[in-house]
Chains A and B, each alone.
Chain A
């Protein structure tokens, strides 16, 4: 079934068109939507496109960085203010994918994709939605509701990310079978701000460990208020998959993921580079 493409210049118009049809998808960089078109996906018949240049800008707002949903991974890598996210954006896909794939699209990536969303979850980002339902919500909430309404009626306009005061407080690792480019067997992002030598406000998130990026609540609790020493790291790593049921897919079984999650988490918390 052929698809119809509608192009808009203003984000409100695009949002209205998207919410008016349950069989419409919004086109970001094409790495998800065009992929679905090529695969003969029959679940949508309309592609909504937006040409608003604002949609592709990055700007500072107080302590936060407002990233337009149309910003590509390559643009993120090249942006000085977004340096703390460059380590994440740089390991997504190959160069051609990074020139295309967008920040907004990454929030909708499932399975072994969506590493940036994992980082944004750990960083406590908020997601701005456009249109009549124009609102802002924590990324936790966005990801929780994402798959309940697959043909989301809202258009993601931007993501606001609080910049970590201490850049070393944010850490990210991607575990893949193929180097340098491979999809994630799992990815782990951790925000570990310290005050007086103790962790305060820990946020730890996994990718490819569930249907969406998710937080490792038990790990966060184990780290909270602790000095980041070997004993605390061991206790946290022992709780790596507490309350989490990792999926089985082509890359790894649920059992394998559960076995190695603690190992990768421990290395990340200990600041070991691999």
Chain B
């Protein structure tokens, strides 16, 4: 089967890859580009751990046909930190023990970063709504919500990507 060339920006840098028909974006990111931060959870759009930003908006990479991202900007958790300086959200997650097993964390961080870009001073309700598509099976939602609140207070709406 023919491979299709796709060019996109990943966390600010140009990527050019060949994708298979029917291949999803998550697979291209993990196996094609080697960005292992977005995780494969359910493959059904239910869990949210594969959440990435496409042109700044949260999308489920496992349900995104890879060839549709040609010419677009993709942001993942790999692009949050600046060298050794963590993104305010990452710092707040660490300080607030917001990760237990950590499998949902990349999706939570991307959903939260999209929220803070749009709304730098979110209410608790705004945060619950923003991460409503992300499931934490350790059920550690309270520390996650508190960490996002703390990151917002610390000026978490830093632009990146």
Contact = CB atoms under 8 A, between A and B. Distances in A.
A243 interface: no
Interface string B103-135: 000000001001000000000000011111110
B59 A34 contact: no
Interface string B8-52: 000000000000111010000000000000000001110010010
A97 B62 contact: no
Interface residues of B, number: 31
Nearest to B44: A35
Contacts of B111: 94-96
A4 interface: yes
B133 A74 contact: no
A35 B133 CA distance: 16
Nearest to A7: B67
Nearest to B2: A4
Nearest to A34: B63
Contacts of B20: 2
A23 to B, nearest CB: 13
Contact of A27 (B65, B114, B130, B132): B65
Given A30-B64, A38-B24, A100-B60, A94 B132 contact: yes
A99 B57 contact: yes
Chain A interface mostly helix, strand, loop or mixed? mixed
A135 interface: no
A177 interface: no
B68 interface: yes
Interface in B114-161: 114, 128-134
B63 A100 contact: yes
Given A2-B1, A180-B128, A96 B62 contact: no
A34 B62 contact: yes
B58 interface: yes
A181 interface: yes
Nearest to A181: B132
B134 A37 contact: no
A2 B63 contact: no
Interface of B: 1, 4, 20-22, 24, 43-45, 48, 51, 54, 57-60, 62-65, 67-68, 111, 114, 128-134
Given A35-B63, A96-B59, 6 more contacts: A30-B63, A31-B45, A38-B43, A38-B62, A94-B133, A100-B59
12 contacts: A5-B21, A29-B63, A38-B63, A39-B44, A94-B48, A94-B111, A95-B58, A96-B60, A99-B54, A100-B59, A100-B63, A100-B64
